[in-house]
Structure 1
Amino acid sequence: MAKKKNEEYSGESGDDADYGEEPNFDDPEDFVDDVSDEELLGDLLSKRPCETDGMENVVVVDNIPKVAPARQEKLKTVIDKLFSTFGEIVNTYYPLDEEENTKGYAFLEYKNSQNAETAQKQLNNHRLDKSYTFSVNLFTDLAKYENVPEEWEPPKPQPNKIQNDLYNFLLEPDAYDQYCVAAETAPNSVQVQFWQNTLPEPTELESRERFTDTFVKWSPLGTYIVTFHKPGVAIWGGTEFNKINKFPHPGTQFVDFSPCENYLVTYGPLPKNQQNIIIWDIRSGQEKRSFVSENMSSMSMFKWSHDDKYVATMGTNVIHIYETPSFYLLDMKSIKIPQLMSFSWSPTDNIIAYWVAETEQVPAKVALVYIPKRREIRTVNIFNVSDCKIHWQKSGDHLCVKADRYTKKSKKDNDVKYLGPYHTFQIFDMRTKDVPVDSVDIKDLVLAFSWEPVGTKCAIIHGEQSNASISFYEVKKGQQPNLIKKMDKKTCSHLFWSPRGQFIVLANLTMGTFEFVDTNNDFIVMGSGDHFRASEVEWDPTGRYVVTGVSSWKVKEDTGYNMWSFQGRIVRRTMLKNFVQFLWRPRPPSLLTEAQQKEIKKNLKKYYPQFENKDRLRMTRASKELLEKRAQLREQFMEYRNKRIQEWKDQKNRRLQLRNHIDTDTLATEDVEEEIVEFLVKEELTTLE
């Protein structure tokens, strides 16, 4: 038994003996292993932990205040509130020195890398106060900055790139204006067409499918057009409307240009019903400064001075004025104004007009402040005020503040009874020394007020909309406002002045009726018309045409636009499915002085023959084009007719076969016998009981 057991374990007998000698798995002495672990276990090694795991979620915030332990909790609360708007913060670290004071920088870890990248883009160069401006970087960028070469290499010269001619639209010899028409072709897809308002028919310049997701907007001088997309906005310009620049701001809902087109402001939503506001440099595309607003608003919160030197926004009882291009607070402090309600810049001077609400002891006040010296140049107190609206004349010559007021009457028991409302218009003469102020009282309900852009008149709609009155006042330098015309029994709700003055459209956008009035010639009604459901009115920059539009944002059928002359004559009707927007391309101010323009108007009759000859040639050219078009259509028809005649001749043999070789083509009508063949199609039997 022992012998048998030894044989079983010795490998020399039994079943194991069939395998022969035991193999040797050792490597030869000269063997070199050239297979790496990545080739054998690449899928597993890619999942192994790394020292930098999670580092892409970390941002480094530099230039924060250095504070003692007693103030550190407040500092952390402020920074966490600011940075948490971009995502959840899972960890924070504030390094401390030997005295337990913060060192001026901090580390914030987000839940994912997308939140960290967004926070870095939005809050880098964010100004906390007048002394501290954040410098925000991703933690993973530190390695990039560590590997900066010690020797500086000068940049290589780049080849000259021809830029787009952004002002070619001003070189049109006949001064034809351009306009764009937007129509929705699919959800979040809008087609935009660009036209030139030539006569007798407009000329299409460009058509872009899916040009924008929502709508478009021209810059104030007509140089750029902005489009809206999910990642941000883009501006286009030049002869073929090429892309000039893009600004990454996801979810942008509204944009605003500075008056001189140096800066662009984008407004986009943030979590927790907040709004992210970014100011960009248009030419470089650089982000100049960003702000976070607590309240969402569809209107611009930032208001620009006429020369782009300052931009201002309103807070609680304070006006913040930032100077460009640094976008730091002017003189490092804001203007504190108790009970501040609203403000507005002059369109031609660096003057701010604001008004403050009335309290029990202090009346409402309207003030004019000169910037940058912050000097008040005029103030007016108004009693019994519930609301005010500030209206600047486009030329900056006058300012009107419409005050909604109420009267009060005391009773025997000393209770106060409020009657009204009524309205007072405070009119400031900005071009006269000491800025004198005159007032106009209107006891009716005021529906609208509008200045003549160029001139000395203003218009007020007051009374009930179904039976309103329109009062025109003339405001001359050194004189009180004078009522020069009152038009009664008008169904009017809106006023639209020509950009050149003199002509005005009295519109009722509820009923879609329009009246065209010449205010320089005894306020004669030159023409009238209607455009049912029209929701927008647009004057062209020259004051020669008016467009009324029915947008699909308001209704879903019969959308389109009508073009009128300034005299109220229909020029063109255009029906366009899913029409959403019509915009004339703005023009920059004229290079001619006011004296030169007056001289041209004075001698306008001298130019009439020249203009009439141009119009005659244009109509002759149009008639010639019409005749050529008709001749071309006739030629196409004759070609089609001859083709069908030849086809009929080629089928003659087939007709003879079908008609027993009788040539019916040559027979007269009386030689042809007509035979009627009837046959049973179906028979039904019905039993009547």
Structure 2
Amino acid sequence: MESGWVDPDEAPSPKPDEPALSHGRPSTDDEFSDPEDFLDDVSDSELLGDILEECPQEADGIDSVVVVDNVPQVGPDRLDKLRNVIRKIFSKFGEVVSEFFPDADGKTKGYIFLEFSSPNAALEAIKNADGYKLDKQHTFRVNLFSDFDKYMNVTEEWEMPQKQAFKDLGNLRYWLEEPDCRDQYSVIFDAGDRTAIFLNDNVEPTLLEERARWTETIVRWSPSGTYLATHHQRGIALWGGERFVQMQRFSHPGVQLIDFSPCERYLVTFSPALDTRDDPQAIIVWDIRTGLKKRGFHCESSSHWPIFRWSINGKYFARMTTDTLSIYETPSMGLLEKKSIKIVGVRDFLWSPADNVIAYWVPEDKNIPARVTIMEVPSRKEIRVRNLFNVVDCRLYWQRQGDFLCVRVDRTPRATQGVVTNFEIFRMREKQVPVDVVEIREPIAAFAWEPQGTKFAVLHGENPRISVTFYNVKNNGKIELIKTLDKQQANAIYWSPQGQFVVLAGLRSMNGVLAFVDTADCALMNMAEHFMASDVEWDPTGRYLVTSVSWWTHKVDNGYWVWTFQGRLLQKRPMDRFCQLLWRPCPQTLLSADQIKEIKKDQKKYHKLFEQKDRMMQYRASKDLVEKRRKLRDDFKTYRKDVQKLFNEQKSLRMELRGGLDTDELDSNTDDWVEEIVEFFVSEETEEVIEE
């Protein structure tokens, strides 16, 4: 049945014995007006619901007014100072149109009224200023003025909240219970259209999960491997559990970059698409567990991502802007002590990976030397300050245990030509933080600390005379030169996550040359090559190394190779338009340093057990291969038997179609065959030969 408007001129006339059609309304023969006692039962919302939704709502003009409680009570002599402090705090959320400070008996009453230029600015003030600690005695409580009617009408009868159903997310760290301690890794291939999760193995990896268009750009594991983050145009999705179900979604249209806090409690996303002056949304800090937005920030440039750098426990995060260093605390996301640190010319900073300590450096300014400062948080106490002269550039490198800080200082001494590099090693655990210096008068290509130890490696020189030098920081206050390896084709240093072993890689322009070195005696274990390799990735245990050629870098020979830590090639895995491989991280061990040392001491006891287990795994792999081949052979025999049976059943039909001729007999007796040669004319070509 079709519905629509009907032209009155085209509507059929009622028959004499039928009432007129009135569409719900009684009508008379003389006119179309309603009787006096008629009640219209059709509401405006039924007729014009979609239009009424867009109708402007009536407002009383107080949606932009907020009430701030717990404001200091001051007299007229301090009122101007209080006004300036309030304006400085609340002007960050929008333009304050008017303000009112009620007073009685010569003092303010402890609450104020602020009117913003828009309701959105008032909401932003409530979101960010509620709970703001002005000092030890005053913590702001901010509410909309329009909410007071709601609070005045709260019922006095208490209702028990409804119980929420428990959502079992499963064991989010199930992969740590793998019996053979095999690690997982993610692979993006087919030009980014497909993403797969594999379980590593010496012979052949096991596919755990594969999905099409799982991500639109890249994937990233959280620092402890609990979550897998996928990028989408509308935001970020987190996946986890044994079947990689979706754990959380964060809506941030146009998101480009993400970063996790080390504790996996917070996620930072960057998108310049929706950032406005009144509503900062370029950078958003999210609570991973609840999926709620904690705070938004403005961002002028993302060239130095991550913009925010986190302390190791996730309690603080810091941001560097022009001449300031801003440190925020969680979970309030407010500035530490309500103010930024004024550092004129600050160039770079870095958190200690073990303590709430920040190191930053400031370049030279006229007659003022450059300086490196180590500061404790939250006290802001300067642990150590070191002045530097003739500085061109500085770079900061923390050792993973936080025992040492290396500051690479590039200088241009007046007496010499060229750049001289000093590596200044700060001993963080010793009294007054003494500094040792190592000087190298060659261009520096790379520097890297040993992850689980006190060694560091420096790649120096120019091609083809590139060398790598290994040093060790001794307990007696000296830096020991271990050894220098000359004539290396390398531009990157990759330490094993467990230390001792290192790979010197010549990536991209150096055609993927690899040198596997054992730093216990600086012996070169193996030299190898993965042509045009673009990336190198160690697994979390330090047992395996992956080199890969990404489709994003080169369009040919895409895939990845798996090596042992000694440089023995285990697998070659070519993949169509392979893009990215990432190992799944593991959380920090719960064992103490003494327990780890005891295990290493007793390692010989387990050596035979490990060898036996390795042989069993190889036997199992060989057995699996034999079983696979046997199954293929049995399947072929079954198929051949079925085909022969069908062939015999169709013999009578073949003879009938061939006039009674039994071709099977001819096949068995080749003497009755007659050979004929049939020739066909295909083409003719004429070529003229010229004799010289």
**SS of equivalent residue, structure 1 residue 408:** coil
The whole-number CA distance in structure 1 between the counterparts of 2:285 and 2:609 is 48
The alpha-carbon distance between structure 1 residues 134 and 531, as it changes in their structure 2 partners (threshold 3 A), is: farther
Shift of 1:530: 1.7
The alpha-carbon distance between structure 1 residues 138 and 271, as it changes in their structure 2 partners (threshold 3 A), is: farther
The 5 A counterparts of 1:604-619 are: 604-619=603-618
The alpha-carbon distance between structure 1 residues 432 and 659, as it changes in their structure 2 partners (threshold 3 A), is: same
The whole-number CA distance in structure 2 between the counterparts of 1:174 and 1:161 is 30
Aligned partner of 1:290 in structure 2 is 296
The alpha-carbon distance between structure 1 residues 642 and 450, as it changes in their structure 2 partners (threshold 3 A), is: same
The alpha-carbon distance between structure 1 residues 248 and 49, as it changes in their structure 2 partners (threshold 3 A), is: closer
The alpha-carbon distance between structure 1 residues 200 and 272, as it changes in their structure 2 partners (threshold 3 A), is: closer
Aligned partner of 1:479 in structure 2 is 477
Q: Deviations over 1:314-372 (max 9, x none)?
A: 12222211222222222223322222111111111121111111122111111211222
Q: Is the 8 A contact 1:254 1:298 kept in 2?
A: no
Q: Deviations over 1:573-625 (max 9, x none)?
A: 11222322211111111111111211211221111111122122222222222
**SS of equivalent residue, structure 1 residue 626:** helix
Q: Is the 8 A contact 1:301 1:313 kept in 2?
A: yes
The whole-number CA distance in structure 1 between the counterparts of 2:683 and 2:252 is 75
Shift of 1:272: 7.8
The alpha-carbon distance between structure 1 residues 122 and 614, as it changes in their structure 2 partners (threshold 3 A), is: farther
Q: Is the 8 A contact 2:536 2:545 kept in 1?
A: yes
The 5 A counterparts of 1:368-387 are: 368-387=374-393
1:221 is matched with which residue: 216, 219, 224?
A: 224
The alpha-carbon distance between structure 1 residues 405 and 652, as it changes in their structure 2 partners (threshold 3 A), is: same
The alpha-carbon distance between structure 1 residues 365 and 640, as it changes in their structure 2 partners (threshold 3 A), is: same
Shift of 1:170: 1.3
**Aligned residue identity for 1:108:** S
Higher share of residues assigned strand: 1
**SS of equivalent residue, structure 2 residue 349:** strand
The alpha-carbon distance between structure 1 residues 133 and 270, as it changes in their structure 2 partners (threshold 3 A), is: farther
Aligned partner of 2:563 in structure 1 is 564
The 5 A counterparts of 1:55-454 are: 60=64, 62=66, 94=98, 103-108=113-118, 125-126=127-128, 131=134, 149=155, 151-184=157-190, 190-270=193-273, 276-297=282-303, 299-409=305-415, 419-454=417-452
**Aligned residue identity for 1:234:** A
Q: Is the 8 A contact 1:471 1:485 kept in 2?
A: yes
Q: Is the 8 A contact 2:174 2:242 kept in 1?
A: yes
Q: Is the 8 A contact 1:515 1:525 kept in 2?
A: no
Q: Is the 8 A contact 1:216 1:226 kept in 2?
A: yes
The alpha-carbon distance between structure 1 residues 79 and 613, as it changes in their structure 2 partners (threshold 3 A), is: same
The alpha-carbon distance between structure 1 residues 382 and 181, as it changes in their structure 2 partners (threshold 3 A), is: same
The alpha-carbon distance between structure 1 residues 299 and 124, as it changes in their structure 2 partners (threshold 3 A), is: farther
**SS of equivalent residue, structure 1 residue 590:** coil
The whole-number CA distance in structure 2 between the counterparts of 1:541 and 1:518 is 18
Aligned partner of 1:545 in structure 2 is 544
The alpha-carbon distance between structure 1 residues 263 and 394, as it changes in their structure 2 partners (threshold 3 A), is: same
**Aligned residue identity for 2:127:** N
**SS of equivalent residue, structure 2 residue 665:** coil
Q: Is the 8 A contact 1:58 1:107 kept in 2?
A: no
The whole-number CA distance in structure 2 between the counterparts of 1:570 and 1:222 is 26
Q: Is the 8 A contact 1:514 1:530 kept in 2?
A: yes
Q: Is the 8 A contact 1:455 1:501 kept in 2?
A: yes
The whole-number CA distance in structure 1 between the counterparts of 2:258 and 2:79 is 42
The 5 A counterparts of 1:606-685 are: 606-657=605-656, 661-667=660-666, 668-676=669-677
Aligned partner of 1:17 in structure 2 is none
Aligned partner of 1:33 in structure 2 is 38
Instruction: Report percent identity of matched pairs.
Output: 42
The whole-number CA distance in structure 1 between the counterparts of 2:171 and 2:38 is 65
Q: Is the 8 A contact 2:253 2:273 kept in 1?
A: no
Shift of 1:228: 1.7
**SS of equivalent residue, structure 1 residue 647:** helix
Q: Deviations over 1:133-178 (max 9, x none)?
A: 8969899x99988876554422022344333211211112221111
**Aligned residue identity for 2:638:** E
**SS of equivalent residue, structure 1 residue 612:** helix
Q: Deviations over 1:353-392 (max 9, x none)?
A: 1111112211111121122222222221111001100000
The whole-number CA distance in structure 1 between the counterparts of 2:67 and 2:296 is 17
The 5 A counterparts of 1:503-542 are: 503-509=501-507, 510-542=509-541
Shift of 1:406: 0.4
Q: Is the 8 A contact 2:423 2:437 kept in 1?
A: yes
**Aligned residue identity for 1:126:** N
**SS of equivalent residue, structure 1 residue 155:** coil
What is the TM-score normalised by the length of structure 1? 0.81
Q: Deviations over 1:249-284 (max 9, x none)?
A: 222211211112222222221468997222222222
Question: 2:578 aligned with 1:575, yes or no?
Answer: no
Q: Is the 8 A contact 1:181 1:581 kept in 2?
A: yes
The whole-number CA distance in structure 2 between the counterparts of 1:473 and 1:300 is 30
The alpha-carbon distance between structure 1 residues 229 and 361, as it changes in their structure 2 partners (threshold 3 A), is: same
**SS of equivalent residue, structure 1 residue 649:** helix
Q: Is the 8 A contact 2:466 2:489 kept in 1?
A: yes
The whole-number CA distance in structure 2 between the counterparts of 1:349 and 1:45 is 60
**SS of equivalent residue, structure 1 residue 250:** coil
Shift of 1:464: 0.7
1:52 is matched with which residue: 30, 51, 56?
A: 56
Segment of structure 1 superposing worse, 174-183 or 494-503: 174-183
Counting matched residue pairs gives 632
The whole-number CA distance in structure 2 between the counterparts of 1:505 and 1:680 is 66
The whole-number CA distance in structure 2 between the counterparts of 1:290 and 1:145 is 28
Q: Is the 8 A contact 2:170 2:241 kept in 1?
A: yes
Segment of structure 1 superposing worse, 640-649 or 576-585: 640-649
The alpha-carbon distance between structure 1 residues 170 and 577, as it changes in their structure 2 partners (threshold 3 A), is: same
Q: Is the 8 A contact 1:123 1:134 kept in 2?
A: no
Segment of structure 1 superposing worse, 280-289 or 455-464: 280-289
The alpha-carbon distance between structure 1 residues 665 and 320, as it changes in their structure 2 partners (threshold 3 A), is: same
Which residues of structure 2 form unaligned runs of 5+?
Answer: 1-27, 72-77, 104-111, 685-692
Q: Deviations over 1:643-685 (max 9, x none)?
A: 33233334434544565544343343232122456799999xx
Q: Is the 8 A contact 1:392 1:400 kept in 2?
A: yes
The alpha-carbon distance between structure 1 residues 621 and 77, as it changes in their structure 2 partners (threshold 3 A), is: closer
The alpha-carbon distance between structure 1 residues 308 and 95, as it changes in their structure 2 partners (threshold 3 A), is: closer
